[in-house]
């Protein structure tokens, strides 16, 4: 068994369903896709980078819903931009991956459409 954490640590995660409204592959990327994700009126849209570019096309994701960890510290992704701005991922997409890194990650999705921003409990 892997490391066991207290239930109280698990409760710290804020996992919500987001609807992908835009997906693009940045010109500098060799593995990440940039997603604009709608998390409903409470949270609005966020940018999330996901390492799924080798397995999915942007059009495969647009309009679909997936779970994301939304209270994770923003992470800088990619090179520094020429206008001195940075690309930050404001969440983490959840997927199932096998130990064999060549296998396509399975993207998790609700069975039916739910409101964007719905909290997973």
User: Considering only CA atoms, which of 20, 18, 13 is closest in space to residue 34?
Assistant: 20
User: Considering only CA atoms, which of 66, 68, 90, 67 is closest in space to residue 77?
Assistant: 90
Fold for domain 14-107? OB fold (Dihydrolipoamide Acetyltransferase, E2P) (2.40.50)
Question: What confidence tens digit (pLDDT) does each residue in 38-93 have?
Answer: 999 999 999 999 999 999 999 999 999 999 999 999 999 988 765 556 789 999 99
For residue 66, the cross-strand partners are 18
pTM, to two decimals: 0.89
For the four alpha carbons of 105, 56, 38 and 74, in that order, the dihedral sign comes to positive
Question: What confidence tens digit (pLDDT) does each residue in 17-28 have?
Answer: 999 999 999 999
């Amino acid at each position: 068994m892997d490391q066991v954490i207290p239930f109280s640590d698990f409760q710290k995660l804020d996992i919500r369903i987001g609807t992908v409204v835009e997906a693009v592959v940045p010109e500098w990327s060799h593995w990440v896709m940039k997603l604009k994700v709608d998390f409903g009126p409470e949270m609005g849209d966020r940018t999330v980078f996901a390492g799924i570019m080798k397995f999915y096309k942007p059009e495969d994701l647009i309009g679909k819903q997936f779970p994301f960890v939304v209270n994770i510290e923003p992470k800088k992704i990619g090179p520094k931009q020429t206008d001195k701005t940075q690309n930050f991922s404001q969440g983490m997409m959840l997927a199932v991956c096998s130990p064999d890194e060549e296998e396509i990650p399975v993207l998790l999705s609700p069975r039916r459409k739910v409101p964007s921003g719905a909290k997973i409990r």
